[in-house]
Amino acid sequence: MIRCTVFGASGFIGQALTRALVSAGYEVYTPGRDERPDPALDLGHVFYCIGMTADFRSRPFDTVRAHVSLLSNLLEHYRFQSMLYLSSTRVYAGADFTDEGVPLIVNPNDSSDLYNLSKLTGEAICLHSGRPNCRVARLSNVVGFDPHTHNFYAALVREALSGGILLQSASSSEKDYILLSDAVKLLVHIGLQGHAPIYNVASGVNLTHERWCDALSRVTGCTVGFTPNAREYRFPLIDIGRIRREFGFTPVPVLEGVPDLVEEFRKYLNQ
């Protein structure tokens, strides 16, 4: 039986990925947060899902440990068949193009770039460690039910279920989202069969805040309010040519998942 190891299996992506691998018949090892595997153990196909999100600015040392230090230790001391490191499409902030080979811009003077710098360092050590079959997946904004998340779409769903959304940013703000089910399928393909060093895992379609609000209003009947002169946030379209060519990927439209997403949050909030 083929062995897979998922680091960060208790997280949003890690949990879903573990379920998918188990369902597909793989032997899946999920080390705990503070567990260090036996270096003599062959970890098989490794999926590195450990990462920081919204609180990275207040926890800089934890961020570097999660994105770089633990990964570096695995690459240096452990046996495995392949390694897939989960990075983020946030690294394209400020870039004119978003194909996987484009040069990227970071600024150590900007506290927001600590996230990007640490992710890119993780990518670099993964790709240049001298170990074969190491790959990177740059994940877009993954949409699925997660009761612990405080990201944009989850905040909107909670507001919609309370009766009204008050949008704090411009309705024309936009970025890429991908459904959790699509993201997990791609991660399995990339981790076990990928040939390129880096893959964008995204839908290739930007959704505006206005479209999110319209979809939630239709499903919940909530009101939608807009803050005057709110700041606009625009992210470049993510190039998904590589996953289209290699895996025949066609994304499911993200807003088709809104009814199920709302129902999951409704059940959780009514407990």
* Cβ 7 vs Cβ 46: under 8 Å: yes
pLDDT at residue 59, as a whole number = 86
Query: CA distances (Å), 196 to each of 34, 103, 187, 242, in order?
Result: 31, 17, 13, 9
Q: Which two tokens stand for residue 125?
A: 């050590």
pLDDT at residue 150, as a whole number = 82
pLDDT at residue 71, as a whole number = 96
Identify whether 22 is part of a domain.
yes
Which pLDDT band, with edges at 50, 70 and 90, does 100 fall under? very high
139 phi, psi to nearest 5 deg: -85, 135
Does the pLDDT of residue 56 top 90, yes or no? no
For residue 47, the tally of other CB atoms under 10 A from its CB is: 30
Identify whether 90 is part of a domain.
yes
Q: Using CA atoms, how far apart are residues 145 and 36, in angstroms rounded to an integer? A: 29
Q: What is the CATH number of the domain that holds 31?
A: 3.40.50.720
Helix (H, G, I), strand (E, B) or coil at 108: coil
Which pLDDT band, with edges at 50, 70 and 90, does 152 fall under? very high
pLDDT at residue 261, as a whole number = 98
Q: Which two tokens stand for residue 156?
A: 């909107």
Average pLDDT score over residue span 103-132: 94
- What pLDDT, in 10s, does the model give residues 4-54? 999 999 999 999 999 999 999 999 999 987 788 988 899 999 999 999 876
Identify whether 209 is part of a domain.
yes
Does the pLDDT of residue 251 top 90, yes or no? yes
Are residues 43 and 91 part of one domain?
A: yes
Identify whether 84 is part of a domain.
yes
Identify whether 227 is part of a domain.
yes
Q: Using CA atoms, how far apart are residues 18 and 204, in angstroms rounded to an integer? A: 25
Q: Which of 249, 257, 152 is nearest to 208 (CA)?
A: 152
Q: What is the CATH number of the domain that holds 149?
A: 3.90.25.10
pTM over cut 0.75: yes
pLDDT at residue 33, as a whole number = 78
Identify whether 197 is part of a domain.
no
* Cβ 92 vs Cβ 167: under 8 Å: no
**Boundary-marking domain end, from 91, 122, 139:** 139
**Boundary-marking domain end, from 139, 163, 185:** 139
Q: Which two tokens stand for residue 158?
A: 């909670």
Are residues 44 and 15 part of one domain?
A: yes
Q: Using CA atoms, how far apart are residues 249 and 244, in angstroms rounded to an integer? A: 5
Are residues 103 and 39 part of one domain?
A: yes
pLDDT at residue 139, as a whole number = 98
Are residues 153 and 215 part of one domain?
A: yes
Are residues 167 and 135 part of one domain?
A: no
Are residues 21 and 60 part of one domain?
A: yes
Sign of torsion over alpha carbons 107, 110, 113, 114:
positive
Average pLDDT score over residue span 100-127: 94
Which pLDDT band, with edges at 50, 70 and 90, does 57 fall under? confident
Does the pLDDT of residue 142 top 90, yes or no? yes
pLDDT at residue 243, as a whole number = 99
Identify whether 160 is part of a domain.
yes
Q: Which two tokens stand for residue 80?
A: 């495995």
Are residues 19 and 38 part of one domain?
A: yes
**Boundary-marking domain end, from 117, 139, 161:** 139
SS (H, E, C) 145-178: CCCCCCCHHHHHHHHHHCCEEEECCCCCCEEEEE
pLDDT at residue 52, as a whole number = 81
Identify whether 170 is part of a domain.
yes
Q: E strand or H helix at 189, and its extent?
A: helix 180-193
How many domains in the chain?
2
Q: Which two tokens stand for residue 23?
A: 């369902």
Does the pLDDT of residue 172 top 80, yes or no? yes
Are residues 120 and 91 part of one domain?
A: yes
Are residues 89 and 107 part of one domain?
A: yes
Are residues 83 and 27 part of one domain?
A: yes
Q: Which two tokens stand for residue 8?
A: 């960060």
Are residues 158 and 79 part of one domain?
A: no
Are residues 158 and 68 part of one domain?
A: no
Structural domain harbouring 96: 3-139
